Structure 1
Amino acid sequence: MDVLLQNLDLFGVGFLGTIELFVVAGIGSLIGGGILAAMRVSPVPFLRAVGTGYVNVVRNTPLTLVLFFFAFAWNRLGIIQLPFFALACAGLIVYTSAFVCEVLRSGVNTVPVGQAEASRALGFTFALTLSQVIMPQAVRAVVPPLVSVEIALLKNTTIAAGFSVVEAGSIFPSLSERGYSVLVGGLWVALGFVILVVPLTLLQRSLENRWSVTR
């Protein structure tokens, strides 16, 4: 308990950074993944090719390399100078969006083709069919894997500690500098992540129960 109580400032700031990273990257990845999923099921061959290429490249690239690019190469491009926190968020969004895309696409494939054909017969455009008919059903079908992707994102935020971003992963070196046991500190960090994951799991079960009744 001494490691925790005497370093509440480190744990508080670290987990606050983790939560901020997760919220920003989580929202961004859901939006990005939704756009990519729409591209992958689009009737336009060019959009399908771009979406497929993006997913194949990013999913096969280690997250460390993605964050390395944003942390050290992005600002050298001279496009726009961003702080490390924003760059870490961008890297996590770019990486996680590819996985969200594949989860949503698998959900789209569970929707009967006849529903899309019926909506087109009623004069719906592709965008309306996707947003009003297909995607709501697809999201309901993939709640468990979608939440699993977001939980993985929460844990992946610790990698940002290696790129000068203050979050839970940066607690360890600070504890070492203060002379405290890093092993004990690691156990407290692990417990902190368990506490953060529990609400996501409860949300997943709540949505599953609610939408299963709806279906």
Structure 2
Amino acid sequence: MSAPRFFAPPPLSAGPLTLAGPEAKHLTAVLRLGPGDAVELFDGEGARAAATVQAVRGKGAKTAAELFCEDPVRTEPPASPLTLAVAAPKGDRFRWLIEKATELGVARVVPLTCERSTVDPGGGKLDKLRATALAACKQCRRDRLPEIAEPVLFAAFLEQDVPKTLFHVSGDRFTAPPSGPHAILIGPEGGFTEEEVKIAAAAGARVAALTTPILRTETAAIAAAAVFAAGT
């Protein structure tokens, strides 16, 4: 059985280390770990390491766990990092999207503001999305946290220097692009407007579609990420 996993702020290095806050509370109050127990640490930037709990002190919000960390193992960044630029869906559907995108190795999620957008995931909502990504990394044993970016206007995102594919029912069948960085744009409920599709195509984006019925925003995003992951 794998050791329980916890996030430690970067950079992770060998030697004594203190966990505080939610991670320490999870270690002590939820999992009831204590001195002598083995855990695994990761720093969200590609490093992970075995560690042993040395001591626990404090209670509640003041809980802290003292650990000894072994030499970290470092993983390289992905050769083909994927950005999902997606119009935020309603309710908890965006948190579900973030969880699954993290499991699929998506490097960056950008909330996209489009003409038909109805959700503005600002402030506290972004914090919850980042917490969801962290929990997913712990569960799937991913060493690099995905970036959950601030919302970006559709036209501004098209100016970013990365190859792009915009999903629209009028597009050709989607296949994984050549290796390297790539961005996939997913529209809101109702899809992108025809004007947005024209603007994206004029900016050099490929227009593509999945060979499926019309999908919800979060389903389309995860389906596209899965096709990307399988082809890279």
Is the pair's TM-score, using the shorter chain for normalization, greater than 0.5? no
Normalised to the residue count of structure 2, the TM-score between the two structures is 0.24
Normalised to the residue count of structure 1, the TM-score between the two structures is 0.25
Q: Which is strand-richer, 1 or 2?
A: 2
